[in-house]
Structure 1
Amino acid sequence: MTSPRLVSLLLLCAGAIACHGSIEQPVPGGNDSGGEDDPAPPASSVPIPPAPERFSCDTNAVPVDLPLPRLSRTQLGNSLRFAVARALPSEADAIWAKVAPTFARYPTDQRTPAPGDLKGGYSRLDQSIQQAQIDAMYDLGQAVAQELTGSNARRNTLLGSCASDGQTANDRACLETFIRGWGSRVLRHPLPAAEVTAFADIAGSTPVDRGAVADVITALLNSPWFLYRIEHGTEASQPASPLSAFELASRLSYQFWQAPPDDELWAAAVNGSLLTEAGFAAQLNRMLQGPQLRSSLDEFVSEWLRLEELPSLVALQNDPVYQAFVGEEMPTDAARTAMFEDVQLSAWQTIVSGGSVSNFLHDRRSYTGDHYLASIYGVPVWSGSGPAPVIPSQNRSGLLTRAALLATGTASTRPIHKGYMVRNALLCQQVGAPPPNASDRPPSPTTDMTTRQAVTQLTSGGSCGACHNQIINPPGFVLEGFDALGRERRVERLYDSRGHVTNTPPVDTVAEVRVYDSERRAVSNAAELTQMIDDSQLFESCIALQYFRFSHARVESTSRDGCLLSEMETAARSGAPMADMLKTLANHPTFKQRSFQ
């Protein structure tokens, strides 16, 4: 559930609000049409010139790496599944089903907005360490260990015939072989003799006893080498040290697949080819072309675009106004999930088809097998293979008009919410926080007042008017051509409390949108807004910044990270495949080294 503090952003401002960012400062008391002396804005057919590039490179600046990156909850779960599958591949699914309830107790990472952002953020940025995590991880280690050693047959599969040959002289060597093999893959680096000895000593005088082996496995799964990405580099005495082959393999794998290195990547680390230019390029291309990339991309898109903020579509199913608004068929939460997947698949299909960032913004194909969402788009359901159907309406301009970004779970649209999303998530522009006394109730239509009229009435006056009228509200008003389920509309149906229609006024989608500095245009529909955003290239710069935060699990320093950010921005703006932006990140020298400054 969205917190009142976050909800208040979307609502009426009753006091001063500070507007800042890369758009021109609004004039206090301004209105939708600008000041009285302002000339009329150009029509949307006059392209917005590209905004200046956001980032610049200082070659003397050295980025600061996270001191000890903790695996995210998703990465930890994938690492545990990898450990189980590596130990007992034929029983991996059954074992994971047994330990999944224990994993469910592991705390969820909290999404952390960047400074100045009122919403959004990435769960990877949560690098906190809690006692609850430590306790849950110990229980997880024990649960996995007990399952892996739950029978003599399982123990024998782990250790080999030496565990059951009736001899005791070879038991210690048997256990050490298991630790060097399975343990090295689980901890993601070849274990030196001293570490093998230390782990084997945990078993005491009964190295192949099932309980003793379980204790060793528990210790391995609670090792810092398992829970964190530990990087010493190869020249630790230097301010920035090249990563070892195994450190680089882990960084690549967790970045793009959210999991430990697979056999091929591990082999490239073992033979050293990963440290060559050709070897690294081969592995990077393989990872960017592999289906495992989708998990990471889905998480990025979902958190960047704040998809989970969409409430349940059935919570108000007994409300007469919501019932009347929805019509004959009530949506289900399966439709809500399909809305998320539709956006995620758009990004994925852009990557695999070689499309650009601009192509992603403009993508008008429907990627859903859900009949309810398909009916909203006016297309047949997609089978999941072959070309996805193109949405016929020209006003379905792509990302901005996907149902996940338009639906609200209520009978009312949320122009303020959508306006802030455009500003902050898609353009990376900051808007000041609402005052403490801001209302926690969103403006809603009445029996004789449209949503736009209600929002304008409640936000256009006083010190709030400047920000709302010139920055927040206009993009949201342009999107009023879609209702609170994402359906296109020309009129807005107004209801009384019993769900009876009281009026059907036409929807007004015309607004003056100020994109950056003094660049503003009169916009009348979502397609024009999308084109204006694309022409400015602020969306391309923004996605580069957002992907940097996601991949690095931290907020950028525009000075110290400027070189990488500048290259990613250039790749995103160039019209090259969107995958090139991801590739730029991995090919940058900072990806292959560890900073100790």
Structure 2
Amino acid sequence: MTLPRSVGILLLCAGVVACEGSAQHTHHPGGNEPDPPPPATSDSVRPAPAKFSCDASAVPSDLPFPRLSRTQVMNSLRFSIARALPNEADAVWENLAPLLARYPTDQRTPAPGDLKGGFSRLDQSIQQTQIDVMYDLGNAVAQELTSTDARRNALLGSCASDSQTANDRACLETFIRGWGSRVLRYPLPTAEVTAFADIAGATPVNRAAVADVITTVLNSPWFLYRVEHGTAAGQPVSPLSAFELAAKLSYQLWQAPPDDALWAAATDGSLLTETGFSAQLDRMMKSPQLRGSLDEFVSEWLRLEELPSLEALRNDPVYRSFVGAQMPLDATRTAMFEDVQLSAWNTVVSGGTVSDFLHDKRSYTADPFLAGIYGVPVWSGSGPAPVMPSQNRGGLLTRAALLATGTPSTRPIHRGYLVRNALLCQQVGAPPPNASTRPPAPTERMTTRQVVSQLTSGGSCGGCHNNTINPPGFVLEGFDALGRERDVERLFNPQGHETATPSVDTSADVLLYDSEQRVISSASELSRMIDDSQLFESCVAQHYFRFAHARVESTSRDGCLLSEMETVARSGAPMADLLKTVVQHPTFKQRSFQ
């Protein structure tokens, strides 16, 4: 069950299971690096024990037949068009827009025991709609690529338009061998080139016949899936071929087929050497193409899309009074997402750590409304980003994307659950059947905290809300439903008239894990507790494992990689090393058939 941010959940806690670990912090130089975390105090939380351990005899499982995600399919289609008609690729893509919109969106699937979250990559289902739309897309691309003799000639070369017919078959086969191999991501053997060419029949360079060939290639399982046979037939675990490894590496880091340099490394075999693989990995990690994959990971991990429109209630009198003179647009909503994504990106490219990402207080926005929320000038996109001046801004926890609700009311329950589940990897049990689905909202005289406490402090809800969900949410009540800092909560009547301005109470007794419990009253203190515990670092590793592998981990079979990722995340190593750990691990270069 996926619950939108607008829904206030009264959650019954069936038990909390924490990600656990220990840590150091090392600050790494960089042009736009995050500020170092605040110093530890004598009241610092003890690092939690490591959650994952390695059983060297365990064999990790693999997805049986990895399907490309929607994003990866779209990138692959663009690649196929650009390989065929590089000078007209943008125009062709624009013509395909209506069909592209019909391709089903991958459904985000939470891990077992989680009420929310999950990654779209985990959706490995196949719908009839996908098959139908993919056929239509393949056909549409084929029709575009062969719509004129000039385009057909650009695909096949001069042999398609000369007076000779004896060379037509060879002309088509050359195109299939070159374009088809890159699109299907492996060198097509002669038998397969022949099979594709046979589709054109007796008219190999006829535009309609060539279109049939292209349609067939784009609907091949090799296009829609990552097909991995390995190089040791019949063995339970087999090394990947150079081209299988190139495709796996490229889709992991760039969500797209291998580029020319990676393809060349696969072709000459250097990708299978330690030196050659490292060279390609370093090149790919420095490429701007990495950002698309990182953006998707961060957005889905932190559930940014749960933030509703900031304009939907623009005519509601309470919302208008709450917002003030300037109404935010949905461009600000997008800017809120980009602010979080750019924080992660700049952490990676500057050599910052996972801890640096948590504590980063720089604002990465050119949106005036969002910059106003942070109290900083807009950022030009180059040079050091401005630092948020407030000491109460605790880095990631107080970015507007994680605080805003699209309503005049904050959501302490949502905020608390996000901290527990997304940032700490602690599971919270499902709500009881009679739980209210109506978001707790302040009244003319009662604050949001008072209403939430009244609704959740007793009965079957109390144990979980009082000890687990509500406390971190209450600590964040110093920020309103747009992410603006506040000392008082403005209460309104239904007509939007202000009725009271009580002080905001941000103090709470936060139990992080075991006996590590502190009474705190600021977001910066909460960030420090989370970081000291190392639960955040372990949790990032766990979430990135799921994103990278398009499946939920097995703590027994995947323990070795998870343990290594956890160690890297906690060690003070660059956050980029966490991404690299996945592809450098021996299991990345092999295929398990067990």
TM-score bracket relative to the smaller structure:
over 0.9
- C-alpha separation in 1, matches of 2:505 and 2:237: 56
Query: Structure 1 runs of 4+ off > 4 angstroms?
Result: 5-9
Match of 1:21 in 2: 17
**2:64 partner letter:** P
**1:394 partner letter:** Q
Q: Give the Å deviation of 1:517.
A: 1.2
Query: Does residue 513 in structure 1 map to residue 510 in structure 2?
Result: yes
**Which secondary structure state, in structure 2, belongs to the residue aligned with residue 513 of structure 1?**
strand
**Residue correspondence of structure 1 range 461-472 to structure 2 within 5 A:** 461-472=458-469
**Residue correspondence of structure 1 range 189-588 to structure 2 within 5 A:** 189-588=186-585
Q: Give the Å deviation of 1:437.
A: 1.3
- C-alpha separation in 1, matches of 2:18 and 2:169: 65
- C-alpha separation in 1, matches of 2:78 and 2:426: 39
User: Is the Cα–Cα contact under 8 Å of residues 44 and 523 in structure 1 kept in the other structure?
Assistant: no
Match of 1:12 in 2: 10
Match of 1:163 in 2: 160
**Which secondary structure state, in structure 1, belongs to the residue aligned with residue 76 of structure 2?**
helix
Q: Give the Å deviation of 1:345.
A: 0.3
Q: Give the Å deviation of 1:367.
A: 0.1
Q: Give the Å deviation of 1:329.
A: 0.2
Match of 2:71 among 74, 82, 98: 74
**Which secondary structure state, in structure 2, belongs to the residue aligned with residue 522 of structure 1?**
strand
Q: Which runs of 5+ in 2 are unaligned?
A: 21-39
Q: How many residues align?
A: 575
- C-alpha separation in 2, matches of 1:566 and 1:458: 40
Q: Give the Å deviation of 1:22.
A: 2.9
Tell me the TM-score normalised to structure 2 length.
0.95
**1:195 partner letter:** E
Question: Over residues 354-398 of structure 1, what are the superposed CA-to-partner deviations in whole Å (9 max), with x where a residue is unaligned?
Answer: 000000000000000000000000000000000000000011110
**Residue correspondence of structure 1 range 119-134 to structure 2 within 5 A:** 119-134=116-131
Q: Does the C-alpha gap of structure 1 residues 472 and 230 become closer, same or farther in structure 2, counting only changes over 3 Å? A: same
User: Is the Cα–Cα contact under 8 Å of residues 392 and 524 in structure 2 kept in the other structure?
Assistant: yes
Match of 1:30 in 2: none
**1:296 partner letter:** S
User: Is the Cα–Cα contact under 8 Å of residues 17 and 464 in structure 1 kept in the other structure?
Assistant: yes
Match of 1:51 among 48, 55, 73: 48
User: Is the Cα–Cα contact under 8 Å of residues 447 and 491 in structure 2 kept in the other structure?
Assistant: yes
Match of 1:141 among 131, 138, 141: 138
User: Is the Cα–Cα contact under 8 Å of residues 8 and 434 in structure 1 kept in the other structure?
Assistant: no
Question: Over residues 544-591 of structure 1, what are the superposed CA-to-partner deviations in whole Å (9 max), with x where a residue is unaligned?
Answer: 000000010000000000000000000000011000001111110000
Match of 2:104 in 1: 107
Match of 2:27 in 1: none
- C-alpha separation in 1, matches of 2:545 and 2:447: 40
**1:122 partner letter:** F
Q: Give the Å deviation of 1:44.
A: 8.0
Q: Give the Å deviation of 1:17.
A: 4.5
Q: Does the C-alpha gap of structure 1 residues 45 and 395 become closer, same or farther in structure 2, counting only changes over 3 Å? A: farther
Question: Over residues 503-525 of structure 1, what are the superposed CA-to-partner deviations in whole Å (9 max), with x where a residue is unaligned?
Answer: 11110000011111121111110
**Which secondary structure state, in structure 1, belongs to the residue aligned with residue 566 of structure 2?**
helix
**1:10 partner letter:** G
Q: Give the Å deviation of 1:10.
A: 3.5
Q: Give the Å deviation of 1:239.
A: 1.2
Match of 1:38 in 2: none
- C-alpha separation in 1, matches of 2:54 and 2:431: 34
Superposition RMSD on alpha carbons, in Å?
1.4
Match of 1:37 in 2: none
Q: Does the C-alpha gap of structure 1 residues 354 and 17 become closer, same or farther in structure 2, counting only changes over 3 Å? A: closer
Q: Give the Å deviation of 1:316.
A: 0.5
Question: Over residues 178-229 of structure 1, what are the superposed CA-to-partner deviations in whole Å (9 max), with x where a residue is unaligned?
Answer: 0000000000000001100100000000000000000000000000000000
User: Is the Cα–Cα contact under 8 Å of residues 6 and 118 in structure 1 kept in the other structure?
Assistant: no
Match of 1:61 in 2: 58
